[in-house]
Amino acid sequence: MNWTYECIIYLLIINFVTGILFAYDKQAAKKNRRRIPEITLHFLELAGGVFVNFVLMYTLRHKNRKFCYWAWTLLIGFVWMMILLIIFPKTNLIL
C-alpha cells in the first residue's frame, strides 16, 4: 500500500474518532454529564482530527461561541493545511 493512502486512511480514522467524541461531548453538555476536557479534544485535533471539528462546531452548534476554543482549532487547522501542502505539494488530493 502506498504511504499516501496510508496517510489518508489515518486521517479518516482520526477524524471519525474525533467526531464521535466531539458529538458525545455535545450530548454530555446537554444532559449535564461529565464532559470531555478541551485539552483532550485539542490533542485529537493535533493528531489530525481537526477537519471534522470545523464541520461539527457549526452543525452541532457546539463550542462555536467559545473564542479560545475556536482560535486554537483554527490555528491547528492552519498547521495541518500547511503539513498537507508540504506532504502533497503537486498532487490533487487536497484540492
Are the beta carbons of 69 and 38 closer than 8 angstroms?
yes
Give the three-state DSSP class for 36. coil
pLDDT tens for each residue of 52-95? 998 998 898 888 788 888 999 999 999 999 988 888 776 655 55
> Which grid coordinates are listed for 87?
506532504
pTM of the model: 0.82
Taking the chain, what is the end-to-end CA distance rounded to the nearest angstrom? 22
DSSP 3-state helix, strand, coil percentages of the chain (rounded to 5)? 75, 0, 25
> Which grid coordinates are listed for 71?
482560535
What does DSSP assign to residue 34? Answer: P
